[in-house]
Amino acid sequence: MTKKTYSLILGIETSCDETAASIVARQSNGSAKILSNIVRSQIEEHAPYGGVVPELAARAHVVHISDIIKRALKEANVEFAEIDAIGATAGPGLIGGVLVGITVAKALCASLDKPLIAINHLEGHALSARLSDGVQFPYLMLLVSGGHTQFIEVKKLGEYNLLGTTIDDALGEAFDKTAKMLGLGYPGGPEVEKMAKNGDATRFKFPKPLLHEKRLDFSFSGLKTATRLAAEKIAPLSEQDRSDICASFQKTVVDILCARTKDALEMFKQNHPNEELRFVVAGGVAANRAIALGLEKTIKEKGAVLFVPPISLCTDNGAMIAWAAAERYAHGVSDELDFSARPRWPLDDESMKI
Footprint of ligand KG4 (CB under 6 A) = 16, 145-147, 172, 175-176, 187-190, 193, 283-285, 287-288, 315-316
**Residue 227 binds which one of ligand KG4, Zn ion, none, with CB within 5 to 8 A depending on kind?**
none
Q: Cis omega before residue 138 (within 30°)?
A: yes
Minimum gap (Å) between residue 290 Cβ and ligand KG4: 8
Q: Which is nearer to Zn ion, 132 or 145 (CB)?
A: 145
Minimum gap (Å) between residue 172 Cβ and ligand KG4: 2
**Residue 175 binds which one of ligand KG4, Zn ion, none, with CB within 5 to 8 A depending on kind?**
ligand KG4
Minimum gap (Å) between residue 36 Cβ and ligand KG4: 19
Q: Does 13 bind Zn ion (CB under 5 A)?
A: no
Q: Which is nearer to ligand KG4, 15 or 36 (CB)?
A: 15
Q: Which is nearer to ligand KG4, 181 or 333 (CB)?
A: 181
Q: Which is nearer to ligand KG4, 87 or 284 (CB)?
A: 284
Q: CB–CB of 279/140 below 8 Å?
A: yes
Q: Does 18 bind Zn ion (CB under 5 A)?
A: no
Which span (61-69, 142-150, 265-273, 290-298) binds Zn ion, by CB under 5 A? 142-150
Q: Does 153 bind Zn ion (CB under 5 A)?
A: no
Q: Which is nearer to ligand KG4, 14 or 83 (CB)?
A: 14
Q: Which is nearer to ligand KG4, 183 or 303 (CB)?
A: 183
Minimum gap (Å) between residue 246 Cβ and ligand KG4: 10
**Residue 190 binds which one of Zn ion, ligand KG4, none, with CB within 5 to 8 A depending on kind?**
ligand KG4
Q: Does 316 bind Zn ion (CB under 5 A)?
A: yes
Chain contacts with Zn ion (rule: CB under 5 A): 145, 316
